[in-house]
Amino acid sequence: MGATGSKLEKALGDQFPEGERYFGLENFGNTCYCNSVLQALYFCIPFREQLLEYYSNNKNLGDAEENLLTCLADLFTQVNSQKKKTGSIAPKRFVQRVKNKMSFSKLYDAHEFLNFLLNELVDILEKETNSAKSCETSPPSDKLANGPRQLQANGVRKEPIVTWVHKCFQGILTNETRCLRCETVTARDETFFDLSLDIEQNSSITSCLKNFCSTETLNAEDKFFCDKCCSLQEAQKSMKIKKAPYILVIHLKRFKYIEQLGRYKKLSYRVVFPMELKLNNTMDNSDSEYSLFAVVVHVGSGPNHGHYVSLVKSHNHWLFFDDENVEMIDESTVQTFFGSSQEYSSNTDHGYILFYESIGGRN
């Protein structure tokens, strides 16, 4: 890695960002899915800043219980505080902690891991917040053995805890269903950390988002039960982004279950993802604009074997992370990961998870 590191430093020369560190992560056997996601998250600056702050605020708590959050904060701090500008690190403690939850005997899906990680971090932060509130506000006799109270004295449910993970990644979708008989609209909000999009051959993220938010007619066996009509009725269903997140994560559904084959197949479709993305087709009265800063790439022809790497934009430079190896690439190289315009192609390196940052500032 020394030669690779010096090569990267030489390539950047005087343009090497002040205070930045570019470190690869060692593979502990089938942990490339973990490494690729961690690199994308490390270069998600607001997420990194919050983790470094968390580490700084908790480093003196010697009796604090080790968990996935403390291990991740420690790993990011290790990278950030390296004396060398480039190199590689072995994320042993973090991997060991993940091993307690997931088996590394098989290749896990990077999207599955990302969801697992963000939800685990949220659970830990919520428990810490509830614990702190209990210590501050509850007399000993009021504490419950099974955790904090969910309801206030007057029966009103408390507002959900909003962690910094939520502030970075959470958006809100509105699912609207209009009864075609009485025209009553039923709206239901749901939160998301990422959007999973169906893909088509020779398409784009913009068209995939448009399809995601398109109107669907519910009829025949799929009729909607209308509360006002008190019966099953034909209806129109649509999805809109009500509140866009600061960090928009888009998951391309490249693995599709094929009934005839009885297994999942990888879709190598060419899906263009732009450097700048606007959400005006998916939101009402919105000019939300995003900039691409990371891509997790799946390398291989099928879902049960292959490899994960990541592309990251840092200080206007694009970098390629492949476990412990890091190298600089041209922005034009990113286009080679759009996918294949033909079903059978020698190119098996396809963009899988896209990370966009809001240009307009944090929400």
Show which residues are catalytic: 32, 307
Check if the beta carbon of residue 319 is closer than 8 Å to that of residue 22. Answer: yes
Check if the beta carbon of residue 235 is closer than 8 Å to that of residue 226. Answer: yes
**CA–CA distance, 228 with 205 (Å, rounded to integer):** 37
DSSP state of 209: H
Q: How many Cα neighbours within 13 Å face the side chain of 346?
A: 0
Q: Which amino acid is at 310?
A: S
Beta strands at 22-25 and 86-89: parallel, antiparallel or unpaired: parallel
The residue count of the chain comes to 363
Q: Which two tokens stand for residue 354?
A: 């896209």
Q: Angle, to 10 degrees, between the axis of helix 68-80 and the axis of helix 32-42?
A: 70
Q: Which residues contact 31 (CB under 8 A, 6 or more apart)?
A: 95, 104
- The dihedral built from the CA positions of residue 308, 314, 318 and 324, taken in this order, carries a sign that is negative
DSSP state of 17: P
What does the radius of gyration of the chain's CA atoms come to, in whole angstroms? 23
Q: What is the 3-state secondary structure (H, E, C) of 76-116?
A: HHHHHCCCCCEEEECCHHHHHHHHCCCCCCCCCCHHHHHHH
